[in-house]
Amino acid sequence: MLGLHLDEIEIGLAVELGAYEFTRDNVLAFARQFDPQPFHVDDEAAARGPFGKLAASGWHTAAGWMKCYVASNAAAEAALKARGKAPVPLGPSPGFTNLKWLKPVFPGDTVRYRSSVTGTRQLASRPGWGMVMSLNEGFNQHGELVFSFEGKVLTAMRR
Amino acid sequence: MDELLHYEDFSEGQEIALGPYAVSAEEIVAFANEFDPQRFHLDEAAGKASILGGLAASGWHSCAMLMRMMADAYLGHAAGLGSSGLDEVKWLKPVLAGETLAGKMIVLSKRVSAKRPEMGILKCRWELFNERGEKKLEQTGVNFIRVRTPC
């Protein structure tokens, strides 16, 4: 994870992952393909809906986190490579818990994402690997927490 | 019937069929390019060589596919009020190109919001399987649906 092995990751490590800009075009494109509820695809229906205006699909907010997370990992890998070091394999994730859509995200919003390590543990079932637990958050341009979830990802240990 | 589904139209234990949804390589690669550009989501050979065993959809993509199935099955014609989130999402097995997903939504419990009498809360579990019956994705969370006649 982020160019670090499991045994190099300390609880409390917090990483700014970058930001994703929600535009009218990308909000509508995502919602039309994956989440065509009226308040995500239709201005008039959205005006009468729960958010008062067109809002991004919650899954779009989540996908924006992944985009920033993958870009942060790629940058960390490139930095390791530049120093002549071997990449740290990023393993798959078995899933996540406590995903919260705390406030709607609207076209024109920019969400800045952050990941904080909350725990690590070695896996008896997979020697050389462990699990990193993290709290992941997204804040809009007003500094309001709009999105969070608790993630888990398999991470290699130092050989 | 043009009438939108409301809170009263759902009952505890009710099951609603989801899908089918054909997962194409093109869609997997397009989503991954936009949101999750890791090699095993972009390239068949890299996917086969990885622990995922083939060109595999981003886990977030499989959640988005489930969202689409929910919209087609009930939320697209319901008086929906969004969702506050999910208790848990399990990516049980990789979703691979060429598979067809289908499954069900199960209403675990229902109640009206104490603070907002116009809002019903459905606690649900959603499950998706491939055509061989292998469970791929399981979610537990809530849908908010408008109450037709608030007390």
Q: What is the pLDDT of residues A85-125, one digit of tens each?
A: 888 877 789 999 999 999 999 999 999 999 999 999 999 99
pLDDT at B2: 60
Which chain B positions have a beta carbon within 8 Å of A92's beta carbon?
51-52, 59, 91, 94
pLDDT at A126: 87
> In 10 A of CB B132, how many CB atoms?
6
Instruction: Please provide the average confidence, as pLDDT, over all residues in chain B.
Output: 96
Query: Any residues with CB less than 8 A from the CB of B87 and at least 6 apart, and which?
Result: A97, A98, B140, B141
Is pLDDT of B66 > 60?
A: yes
pLDDT bin (cut points 50, 70, 90) of residue A159 is confident
Q: What are the pLDDT digits (tens) for B99-108?
A: 999 999 999 9
Closest to A88 measured CA to CA, from A100, A76, A98, A97: A76
Place of tokens 């989540």: A62
Contact B88 A63 (CB under 8 A): no
Contact B85 A99 (CB under 8 A): yes
Contact B82 A100 (CB under 8 A): no
- What number is the ipTM of this complex? 0.96
- Among partner residues A36, A66, A101, which is closest to B60 by beta-carbon distance? A66
Mean pLDDT of A141-147: 98
Task: Tell me the nearest-neighbour CA distance from A152 into chain B, angstroms.
Answer: 11
Closest to A112 measured CA to CA, from A143, A134, A137, A139: A139
B 45-64 residues with CB < 8 A to A? 51-52, 58-60, 63-64
Mean pLDDT of A8-37: 97
State both tokens at B61. 């993509």
Closest to A102 measured CA to CA, from A139, A54, A64, A50: A139
DSSP-based three-state secondary structure for B68: helix
- Which of B63, B137, B139 to mutate to test binding with chain A, by most A CBs within 10 Å of its CB? B63
Which chain A positions have a beta carbon within 8 Å of B80's beta carbon?
37-39, 50
pLDDT at A71: 95
Q: What are the pLDDT digits (tens) for B90-142?
A: 999 999 999 999 999 999 999 999 999 999 999 999 999 999 999 999 999 99
Instruction: Please provide the average confidence, as pLDDT, over all residues in chain A.
Output: 95
